[in-house]
Structure 1
Amino acid sequence: MSDASRENVDSGEKLSSSRVVTLVVSDDHEQETAVRSTLENAPEPLDVLVTDIDTLAEYADDAVDCLVCLGRLLDEHRDALEAITEHAPSLPVICWGMPERLGLETALEAGITDYVRSPQTDDQRRIAARRVHAHGNRYQATRAAATYRSIFERLPDAVVVHDATGDYERANERATELLGYDRSTLLEKSVSEIELTTDAAALESQLTRCDPGETIVVTGRNQRADGDVFPVRVNIRRLEADPDRFIASIQEITELKARERELERNLDLLEKMEELTNAGGWEVDYERETVRWTGGTRRLVGVDAAYEPTLETTLQFFHPDDRPRLESAVKTAIVDGEPFDEQFRLVTVDDRVRHVRVRGDPYQVNGYTTRVRGSIWDITDRKAAEDELRQREAHLSQAQSVAELGSWYKEIATDVIHWSDEVYEIYGIEKRTGPIDHAFFMEHVHPDDRELVNRKWDAAKRGDRYDVEHRIITGDGETKWVRQKAKIEFDDGLPTDATGVVQDVTDRKAYERRLEAQNEQLDVLNRIIRHDLRNQLNVIDGYAAVLEEHSDATAPLATEIRTVTEDLLEMAEEIRTANRLLVEGDDYHRVDVEAIVEAAMASVRDEYDTFTCACSIDDGLWVRGTNALEIALEQIVENAIEHNDAATPRVEISAEHCSETDTVSIRIADNGPGIPDSERELLTGTRERSQIEHSSGLGLWVVNWIVSSVEGTLGFETDDDGTVVTLELPSATDRPHTKPGEPSRR
């Protein structure tokens, strides 16, 4: 069997029954009709197309299997044959009828593939059609063989063809590169000369047991031409059309083996970490109704590796009073897709009660929760320590409250300060979850007294007494007089730490300072988010990416980790943007309304393409504001698109001047479901904010802050047609001679 025939059989082509597309080139309608009738009425599957010399170039040569040209056409148009062979040099060209002037011999030498006399009888017509079909079939076979060889050579994996004894018959370029042989040398070898773990007899026995069309996967070790040995995984398929031959793809798995070893090391590290931290992991698969525990979880519960947990038995290991709360948390995760982080009491197999922290993250497919994965920590010792510390702090806090006296402790080398609750009470700010530093303390010292406080503190670090009275600005906005006294400890002449007290002397002006303190706290929080939190999230994302790439078993969990991490990073970026707008601000200038609308929409179009937008902006509209107005418009449009449940989100932007108020009104209308009443009331100030009432994100808050910062107002209207957001901005009546620079981009 020839290579071309074998390749076509391998690809499953049935040449005898395949349809042949035949293009008849003619300028005689009567002859064209006769030829077409002969071919279309033949039993062979023929599709007939008709053209003339002038329109021949319109047909792609890969869409036609055979050309039929009338002999008379060649006589009358001497350049016809040249045009035909130039258009499709590899296509078979059949001359239908004798070319009297050109001559048959000349036509054959010039490129005519075959000659068919004009058939007169039905038998002659069938024979003529059969010859056309045969030429077209052969051309299809040649083209398919060329395609097969091209694909075979360009496969990214090393691919070889060998017989049942392992002798190589074909090899693509990647195989020669992988094994280090030139093609001719490689084809002189057999599998047993390359594969080191299987001898020739064993290989032949294994191959002969393989059924035609069956694929087997084997692993082994191949040796390159330079003697280098490397692990491989080989997929071998016995050809159905030619059972004496096998096609095999060879994959070097050196990196895979290394990843498997790395995975084993990671699993061992995970086990050690769980042991050191008294923690474990778990997964509930609701599709398969299975429960999986890691070794750390089994250790906490007190069961061995042979124990198989179920949904029912897992719940029984928790304290009866905690089970309803656990069931509710899990149900919320399943129904709403919300993660949970709760503390429960775990009852071990030996009836010991342990306090544990349980976290669960749902994994959803098409909006349905299929699995919940999480972790469990033993926090019994921490719980006991927290209870004891809580009691001591309560006693100390009560004593300090009675005396209106607060205490503080400072590690001078690290600039870490710890305040008691009463100090926070005196300063009128919320208690922080962590320590503070000297800069934070000085932020609350009255500006006119900061030089005094710093001078006294520097002197105290040199050994002087620290006893100073100064003003502070409390978190409530009050100006208070306080007395600070401290004792500083020294080591080899260097100050190491200090213990001090704060006594409230007087109160002043509450409200203004509370706002300032909140701004200062926001600045500190932003620095933490911008540096520490973002850096740690990037580390988590990096490790999750490695785990996702290197382990199929944990890839879904790693993907979920990366998704949550990306959400947190995006939120951190929004917080950073909001803080920049509030803290850094921007210079006021005249702003071209049409320019910022165009710039905002350009940014939105870069991220979203499934929405429509219509703009109607009056000419010559200018407002007094900052470049941040572009960000406000972006946020409103993005919010209208992201929270839109219509098949195609629609946004309409209009702007006009209001002469009565000398303002410019910018209206952004959408066809979405609208902003919830509670969130709209929070943004407009008709409802007070609390710890349990908040908006769904920072976007509209950023808009509110930007509009407020330029002395504008923000309004919302919602009905069945959608939502209209209105920005009322102060008009800039004096137009500059030149437009200001392009609005800044985020």
Structure 2
Amino acid sequence: MGGGTIHVLYVDSGPPSADDISRRLESARESLRVTTVDSGSVDALSTELADCVVCDCAISDPNASELLEAVREEGTGVPLVLFTDDVGERTADESIPSFVDAYVPKQGEGRDHERLLGRIEDLVSRHRSETNYREVFEKAAVAMSVRDPETGRFLDVNERYCELTGYSRGELIGRTSEEVGGQQEGYTADRAHELLRETVEEGSQTVEWVNKRRDGTSVRVEATLKPAEIDGRTRVLVSIRDITDQREREAEIERKNDLLERTQRIAHIGGWEYDVEAEELRWTDEIRRILGVPLDFAPDPEATLERYHPDDRPHVRRAIEEAITDGEPFDIEVRGRADDGAFRWLQIRGDPQRGADGALRIRGTAQDITDRKRREDRLHELHRRTRELIRAGTPTEIAHIAVETAEETLELPLSGIHLDDGDGTLRAAAVTDAVREHVGETPDYDRSSADYGDTLAWEVFESGESRLIEDTDADGALDIDSPIRSGLVYPLGDHGVFITSSLNPEQFGEEEQAFAEMLAATTTAALDRAEREQRYDAIFNQTFQFTGLMEPDGTLIEANDAALEFVDATREEATGKPLWDTPWFQYDDSTREMAREAVERAQNGEFFRDELPIVGGDGEEIITDFSLRPVTDENGQVTLLVPEGRDITELKEREAELERKNEQLEEFASVVSHDLRNPLAVASGHLELALQEYDDDNLEYVKEAHDRMESLIDDLLALARQGTSVDERRVVDLGATARRSWRTVETRDATLRIASNGSFEADPSRLGQLFENLFRNAVEYAGDAPTVTVGVLDGGEGFYVEDDGPGIPPERRDRVFEAGHTTSETGTGFGLRIVERIATAHGWDIEVTEGADGGARFEVTGVEMRVDGKTV
């Protein structure tokens, strides 16, 4: 019995006479400890330490009732057993007090202690169960409830159950499933009540169920129902486990694992014992049968060691030695030689134990696992072939690998894959040579044919249910000319069927079916993947960006390979759930909240964009430029959402490095300009005094040089500051910003024209500087009264500024953005360099080309423009 040591207090009402009983009780169970006292020695401490009290007294003794009452008073909750000479049924019924838990009559046949031991173990087990019920129930790691099988009502629930369902304990107790869960198709209160009654009548069971939470959402659970005696009444203990997140592929994997378990049959197990001191080895007959030796064969320890494979003997010897010296049990897999010379795989378990006589013996089991090892080798090869299937790129390639696997790995020589051609025929994509040899041609299955083979293949394909044909002669299934006598047909989803057959009847046992079904399931998964990749590859998987598709409610329905590989998730694990529950948004709470906000804004037709930190499956953290774009139909209704993410980690790192360098540059420029301005100011002051005293043209040249030095210093500072990154962006209007900048520039007779307009995000101040420098450049170089045009580029990829002047020769266009490059006597050569710095700080590109009228045209690209309220 489980539960540890049982302490029995044996109370003798007369002279000590229980030694024989106590000795036999303790000999019968190593876990039993018996303490014998006379009736005058019973106290609260002795009963408190006991798991059971046995009173050895005669019912007819006048002092018996007094003794029993005294014992019960001292040990209120401990089971009390009356062990008596009186065996009369009438006497027992009339004389035994109601508070006695069990009555065991003495029969004097030398087996009294066995009957007494049975009652003690039963009572202690029941008492411990009842005592620990509340503590175990409340501390259970799973959600549990106690149900009344008669009424279906909740009698008790633990905290985990409340957390899972959303109901409080008070809301559940006394109510039925109908009252707290509602009626759902297939999962009604009547069915729940029926399950409770079945559990009481037939025993424990496990079912899948759908519970409705308090908030109205549904949760799929696995419920285990067990009958239990609680407070003397039969109840049903229900434990539930949330399995809502298990997707279809996970269920398929679970089914594969179940098939694997079915293929691993339990072989016969034999027992053995090794007496260390006597050096004697004993076997049960089952071990002799496994090794093929006569049933009267007497094993010898040293000779037995020689039966193991030479490579395994050191493992066996070491396991035995450690068991003897350290008392360590062992579990090893080794090869043993049978009498026919063949080696069989054995799983050897051993556990050192000391008997009552103090002798050390190692007892254990030996299990023939040869078949299991063979299956494991086959499974290992099947898994290797599965990787080939997953890597295959086309349905034809998948079919050939699957058929080759069936023939070479699963030893199914008559096998074929037949795929739906879309025109009513399941065409043979791949078959073994044996199929061609025995059937005579590569078989196709016509939807309109009345032949049984064609009909059977299409029935399996359309129903999605496999078929086993055990004997075609008995079933009358196939044409009499066919050599096929048994077969298996498995559906391959929406793709076709897998067929394997034999020339002999009843050739497909449980193991063959399990492996064939596993191959069919794996092939289906590979075909699904190939179809999915062909369908979406051009859209999703030809880019390094993270891309996906979402329902308008935020449910992710597709993600490209780049996104999935980064977080080490399968498509099934990532899709089918809200965006904020997907792996990419588990960085922190603010990230998940941003995902919710993005979905809400996109649902209303708004484009969302922000920087998002994510952590990949290997722990790598990156910063992404995340956006969520709504897709609308012709009525403006949002039908899809397109999430995209671009890895900008390196860009951010470069920006940080550039910021640092620009700060250093600005500091340097400020120091230099300060050191230049001080002597320049002194020189300018003396120059002013000289101009007041002397009228000399040479002094005017000096003044012009001073002014140019001032301009150079100002542009040097401006250029240094334009290298820093953009701190704040706002939506700006192209035309309005251009007009404001135009008013701050000395434009003389020049004219500004806004050809087209749009909006985009930018730093308004620095964007204004960009336009000012482009306008100054146009006024300086475009001749008299030029026209400067601003507009949106075709395709909406940015904007442009152009003039109608002489333009810039092609050979000089690559140099115009170089610092100090100028063709004007008054220019500093830094204006266009500043323009380039501002564009780069925004993440844009700028280039110079020829305008429509032959002038200079500056195009700024990489800008997300919105024209007429739409992003283009």
TM-score in same-fold range (> 0.5) = no
Please tell me whether Structure 1 or Structure 2 has the larger radius of gyration of its CA atoms: 2
TM-score, structure 2 normalization: 0.27
What is the TM-score when the length of structure 1 is the normalising length?
0.30
